[in-house]
Amino acid sequence: GLSAMAGKAKGLQISGVKDIIAVASGKGGVGKSTTAVNLAVALANRCQLAVGLLDADVYGPSIPTMMKLHGKPEATEDLKMIPKENYGVKCMSMGLLVEKDAPIVWRGPMVMSALEKMAKGVEWGKLDILVVDMPPGTGDAQLTISQRLQLSGAIIVSTPQDIALLDARRGAHMFSKVNVPIIGIIENMSCFMCPHCSQPSFIFGEGGAKRTATEMSLDYLGDIPIEMDIRTCCDEGVPIVLSSPDSTSAMKYTDVAQKV
């Protein structure tokens, strides 16, 4: 858990926010945002915490769709943005601030100032946990976020595929370089249970994230299957943790949330 983590990284604290945790991946498309959303919703609804979700994936913000958020955020009298709340989670995303089809072509410094505004120019109120959906990869933007925000820890999401794991290792190294403790690795799209023959298929390989965690002496937080419902729920804007709370997948997300 977070409280057990020693040696927090230095950086800017957001007032009222107890812990900021990053959900990161070395590669895009491995299910980082899906994981961030389901974790945030599980932390709020199952663990009864005050939770915020910051979509820092400025290049491809998907939180507004996944959390069914509409409209531009309102501002307070002192011109702070009021996060949009749904399912008990306060959210902020670049996707709420720009037109839907507008290309987000930004250079590094603009990305950073946008992120800074989304983190500190937002009236988060009192939060136990702010979950940050990081941009994929280990470039400048990721490094700067890790240094600027006072992250309590990072969760790394990877599929069991070798090339994804290679990038996940890079991500883990980046966080340790800036002294952000790694809470653990989650394996997403672990296995596909065939609805016709009920046999598992290990589409991206078997057990890779667990092996990587062991090799790197990191905690292994669990595995999430590749499942049609996880995808459709995200597309419909009702995370599976809420739409089918008794499903195996929802319980797996809740398990991970309890380890955080």
CA–CA gap between residue 235 and residue 223 (Å, rounded): 21
Answer positive or negative: Cα dihedral of 163, 164, 165, 167. Answer: positive
Among 21, 58, 218, 234, binds ligand ADP (CB under 6 A): 234
Counting residues that bind ligand ADP (by CB under 6 A) gives: 18
The contact pattern for ligand ADP, residues 52-91, with x = CB under 6 A and - = no contact, is ----------x-----------------------------
CA–CA gap between residue 78 and residue 241 (Å, rounded): 36
For residue 22, list its beta bridge partners: 132, 154
Among 34, 86, 158, 161, binds ligand ADP (CB under 6 A): 34
138 binds ligand ADP (CB under 6 A): no
Residues 152-211 that bind ligand ADP (CB under 6 A): 188-189
- Whether 241 and 253 have beta carbons less than 8 Å apart is answered as yes
Within 10 angstroms of residue 232's Cβ, the number of other Cβ atoms is 12
CB of 240 to ligand ADP, least distance (A): 9
Among 32, 46, 90, 252, binds ligand ADP (CB under 6 A): 32
Query: Tokens in use for 205?
Result: 């390989």
Query: Tokens in use for 33?
Result: 């945002």
For residue 193, list its beta bridge partners: 200
33 binds ligand ADP (CB under 6 A): yes
Q: Which stretch binds ligand ADP (CB under 6 A): 13-21, 195-203, 207-215, 221-229?
A: 221-229
- Strand 89-93 versus strand 182-188 pairing type: unpaired
40 binds ligand ADP (CB under 6 A): no
What residues make contact with ligand ADP under the rule CB under 6 A?
25, 28-34, 62, 136, 188-189, 224, 226-227, 230-231, 234
